[in-house]
Amino acid sequence: MSSDLTRKSAAQLGELIASGETSAVEVAQAHLDRIAAVDPEIKAFLHVNADGALEQARAVDARRAAGEELGPLAGVPIAHKDVFTTRDQPTTCGSRILEGWRPPYDATVTARLRAAGLVILGKTNMDEFAMGSSTENSAYGVTHNPWDPSRVPGGSSGGSSAAVAAYMAPLSTGTDTGGSIRQPAAVTGIVGTKPTYGGSSRYGVVAFASSLDSPGPFGRTVLDTALLHEAFAGHDPMDATSIDAPVPPVVEAARRADVDGLRVGVVREFGGEGYQAGVEQRFRETVELLESLGAKVTEVSCPHFAYALPAYYLIAPSEVSSNLARFDAMRYGLRLGDDGTRSAEEVMSLTREAGFGAEVKRRIMLGTFALSSGYYDAYYGQAQKVRTLINRDFDAAFEQVDVLVSPTTPTTAFPIGERADDPMAMYLADLCTIPSDLSGNAAISVPCGLSPEDGLPVGFQIMAPPLADDRLYRVGAAVEAAFTDRWGGPLLDTAPELGGAR
């Protein structure tokens, strides 16, 4: 029964627990057993909260036994990205500078997961402070892709995507700053959503780039992802950037799965040189599928998307330079060299040298330079102007179509180490995802098959206007339903047994 439970969707598990056919404790234990069997190879988790998870599950079972009405995800396990503060577990952000830090409070997303009755299994690995596209930048080791452990699981939320893809959790959380939910979802064959910026709370999310960070959900199905989205999204007075508006009807849209008459725009600029042939083939097939389902497909040009990558890598590091200044060895986290003979500046320098990894240092230096006197207007100021032009491209496009579509990432998962010494090659993994972060609109990645070249998953990206997140799930569910009929089940079920990951 336990292995069967790990193969169920989150929606199915919620129904089984609600009906009494199984208990939250049984479901939690099944997933903890799966973690114990699989994670030594995959390395998705930084911390497994086995005792705490079982305690949470017992509490759900007790509340249900007492006749309390609970939500659809009560008792369902979830893996939590280690960028969200958790009062009962360490929060390290994949960095030595926060090794062992236990926050005194929960992030709003964490608190809402608990309120919904979700069982937090533990904290997942990530690129340090969410800076990366492969989860190779973690100070605590590399996470492996369950489809092929020699490949990356994407990043920065690679631990979260790998946990779901390897059936260690039916759901997980991530954050998307430049594509850090959608890109890992694409290369591990699952669903991942970047909500409208401000649609999910950043309170208690350790900041990378404050104008870009968006917490979002991962799931193995579109419906599961929508259920999690609904569970933790919504206005939060603790977050000054939070939108005071109702959560779009994402669950209703995921159940609708109908695109008849919907206007779909194919982004002209996302394709061609640098795109893997198999990725483009699966993307074209998915567009043809939407057309066969009644969608009205047209090509749309967004000319300034070509400048999104360089603009992002000036804006995001500039915000990094500001946000990471708080790690000064004075208040919390790592503290080195404090032997009574050194000044505060020396202690700070020694701590940052040992505590920050190479990619974090690279971005701090780049951002500090871009903000410096004499260079601010030429670099940061110009990048913000490009951001405005990208917003205008989106506005013009959404006057013509209801959603935009593109490949999620130009290639399938690349081998671990292949791009480690080439930052530009690494940054290109987020080529298609960055524009939505710069503009703040909603976007999702859903599986659209395997590349015929290497047999690895390909992601199909759907983008919608701000606060039209429900459109993502409507289109995604239609794609998923059609492909499920074709594949005979979810894409993950077609995966070979790889290194014990299945």
Q: Where are the beta strands (DSSP E) in 125-229?
A: 171-176, 191-194, 214-219
Query: Can you tell me the distance from the alpha carbon of 449 to that of 298, in angstroms, rounded to the nearest whole number?
Result: 22
Query: Can you tell me the distance from the alpha carbon of 275 to that of 277, in angstroms, rounded to the nearest whole number?
Result: 6
Query: Can you tell me the distance from the alpha carbon of 88 to that of 260, in angstroms, rounded to the nearest whole number?
Result: 47
Quick check: is 296 catalytic?
A: no
Query: Can you tell me the distance from the alpha carbon of 254 to that of 226, in angstroms, rounded to the nearest whole number?
Result: 7
Catalytic residue, chosen from 43, 81, 123, 194, is 81
Which sign, positive or negative, has the C-alpha torsion 435, 299, 405, 451?
Answer: negative
The CA dihedral of 446, 410, 147, 152, to the nearest 10 degrees, is -120
What are residue 254's phi and psi, to 5 degrees?
Answer: -65, -30
Quick check: is 180 catalytic?
A: yes
Helices (H) and strands (E) in the chain — how many of each?
Answer: 17, 11
Neighbours of 378 (CB within 10 A): 11
Query: Can you tell me the distance from the alpha carbon of 58 to that of 359, in angstroms, rounded to the nearest whole number?
Result: 41
Cα 221–Cα 210–Cα 140 angle in degrees, nearest 5? 65
Per-residue buried b or exposed e for 309-331, using 16+ beta carbons within 10 Å of the residue's own CB: bebbbbbbbbbbbbbbeebbbee
Single-letter residue type at 303: P
Termini Cα distance of the chain: 16
Catalytic residue, chosen from 180, 242, 318, 436, is 180
Single-letter residue type at 476: G
Q: In a 3-state reduction of DSSP, which class is residue 307?
A: helix
Single-letter residue type at 131: M
Catalytic residue, chosen from 23, 95, 156, 406, is 156
Q: Which residues are catalytic?
A: 81, 156, 180
